[in-house]
Structure 1
Amino acid sequence: MYNTLISAAQLAALGRADCIVLDCRFQLDNADYGHAAHAAGHIPGAHYLHLDYHLSSSKNGRNGRHPLPDGQRLAVDLGALGVDENTQVVAYDDGAGQYAARAWWLLRWLGHDKVAVLDGGLKAWQEAGLPIDAETPTRRSRRFPIRASLAGSVDADAVLANLDAKAFTVVDARSNERFHGIGETIDPVGGHIPGAVNRFFMNNLDAGQRYKPAEQLRAEWLALLGEDFDPAAIVHQCGSGVTACQNLLAMEIAGFPGSRLYPGSWSEWCSDPARPLER
């Protein structure tokens, strides 16, 4: 079973009978990109999941740019692709792995532990000399059961209360510039949640956009959070609850399971002018 990362060679060796591959490619400035890219060529048998349509729910201006999807609906979507409780799921994209990490987190949120991210994404697959095709993948409908969640989350009210309670530490996955409110171009307000610390999600990767070794990640997270930190007292956020999932995955790889996600993240937080911020 793979439940954090899987290499291209390991994925190629898996039999497709009990493995479903999810293509999660997406671009924030071109919502149609991923679907078109999948149609043009994908890992053989891979099904496409869209960040806005499958991995998020409708936004209303107050719940962030990528609210969590309805769990029952996502379970139906996954079952329609052939995912059941015994299926090994592998997610990939062609960026820094943030969209694949969102799918990874959501499956764990629904209680599915046999899910991994393809380390290095589509680029790693192609660099290994492995094929892509443009064939429509076969669907084999199954029932995907929702089980006890393996991924915790908190809402905006909990984050607001924590400003005084200080029961957990918020880790912001955005760039250092956006964290400090410099050059904000995505959200209408720049800055960060008071008391948050910054860990840019790209810092989890090496120059080839593969995850750093577990030992290196462990040392870097300890340097940020302290030698005696409790992963259960860590809450991750970003702009909209997507790249924060990459930090969650990195902590799992480093041997620090149990941290949580604030799904609404900065885009939800800054939508209410009554919530405080720092720059």
Structure 2
Amino acid sequence: MFTTLISVAQLQALQTNNTPLAVFDCTFDLMNPSKGKAQYLEQHIAGAQHADLDQHLATHDAHKRVNAGRHPLPKREVFAAWLQSVGLNQDTQVVVYDRNGMNHCGRLWWMLKWCGHDAVAVLDGGLQAWLAANGALASGNSTALDKATHQPGNFVLGEPLLQLVDTATVSMQLHKDTQTLIDARSAPRYRGEVEPFDPVAGHIPGALNRPFNTNLNAQGFFKSADELRAEFADLLGNANPQTVVHHCGSGVSAVPNILAMQIAGLGGTGLYAGSWSEWCNTPELPCEKS
């Protein structure tokens, strides 16, 4: 079972040994939301289905969501129904990837863990690594989405394997040693110099900054466990890794930091899914620039 990363060679082996497998292409473009599906239709790993950040991995229906912000999480029951609809079974090994530096696919990785499914891994290096290895490709919609032959899966919700944290909890724990906030946005956004998406620039007071792409090496793969462990040790100082709560702009690009801490052997950490987009739109909550 693969639970953090999977290499191209490992995925190719799974494709040939009859392992129950589901592959999801999570390519997305925040500035052009329809582009991800278009890129998927043009080219994707053979057999992969498309999981769209706006349509499948978030919801703006107030009755179906668990938080606010720009990309609210659907309730676990709502998400589980979608997983069943795309044929996911309890014994399925899931592999997720994108073309975006393993940023958006992390959302599906985290959501599956949140719903109790541990057998999910991020394809290290993304589609770029698959192309470099001459992996099998397809275009158009996957045959797995053919409604004439497609059967619903038997996926059922399990106990959450990763922690979801809400705005009230983050606010109550602010400046306490029981909570260490890590902001995954770029340094200029963190400092409040620019803000392309949200109405207020800046960051949550006391938050540390580690841009999500810091976790990758020059070749576009995750850094080694030793490298990641050393970098997080430098960032956290005396803070206990188990107190960490990750966030970003809308709860998506925070996930590579969660994954990196798991790769580094630092355990599961919390996700504040509402992130800056919910925080800065909540009256009377403090915001700071630096």
User: Does 2:273 align with 1:263?
Assistant: yes
Q: Return structure 1 stretches of 4+ with deviation > 3 angstroms.
A: none
In 2: Cα distance, 1:141 partner to 1:54 partner:
16
Output the aligned Cα RMSD: 1.5
- Which residue is equivalent to 1:109? 114
- Which residue is equivalent to 2:147? none
In 2: Cα distance, 1:99 partner to 1:39 partner:
17
Do the aligned partners of 1:59 and 1:65 also contact (CA within 8 Å) in 2?
A: no
Do the aligned partners of 2:22 and 2:92 also contact (CA within 8 Å) in 1?
A: yes
Q: 1:185: how far off?
A: 1.5
In 2: Cα distance, 1:22 partner to 1:14 partner:
15
Secondary structure (helix, strand or coil) at the match of 1:98 reads coil
- Which residue is equivalent to 1:20? 22
User: Does 2:235 align with 1:212?
Assistant: no
Query: How many pairs align?
Result: 277
User: Does 2:123 align with 1:118?
Assistant: yes
Amino acid at match of 2:22: I
| Stretch moving more, 29-38 or 136-145 | 136-145
Secondary structure (helix, strand or coil) at the match of 1:124 reads helix
User: Does 2:138 align with 1:152?
Assistant: no
Calculate the TM-score normalised by the size of structure 1. Answer: 0.95
Q: 1:79: how far off?
A: 1.7
Amino acid at match of 2:245: V
Q: 1:278: how far off?
A: 1.1
- Which residue is equivalent to 2:10? 10
In 1: Cα distance, 2:123 partner to 2:283 partner:
39
Q: How does 1:169-184 map to 2 (within 5 A)?
A: 169-184=180-195
In 2: Cα distance, 1:37 partner to 1:53 partner:
16
- Which residue is equivalent to 1:127? 132
Q: 1:130: how far off?
A: 1.0
In 2: Cα distance, 1:140 partner to 1:25 partner:
25
Q: What are structure 1's unaligned runs of at least 5 residues?
A: none
Q: 1:164: how far off?
A: 5.1
Calculate the TM-score normalised by the size of structure 2. Answer: 0.92
| Stretch moving more, 261-270 or 151-160 | 151-160
Q: Identify which of 218, 222, 231 aligns with 2:241.
A: 231
Amino acid at match of 2:50: Y
- Which residue is equivalent to 2:49? 47
| Stretch moving more, 134-143 or 99-108 | 134-143
Q: 1:59: how far off?
A: 6.6
1:220-252 Cα shifts (integer Å, max 9, x gaps)? 0111112x5433210000000000011000000
Amino acid at match of 1:126: L
Do the aligned partners of 2:180 and 2:239 also contact (CA within 8 Å) in 1?
A: no
In 2: Cα distance, 1:26 partner to 1:179 partner:
22
- Which residue is equivalent to 2:250? 240
Q: What are structure 2's unaligned runs of at least 5 residues?
A: 145-149
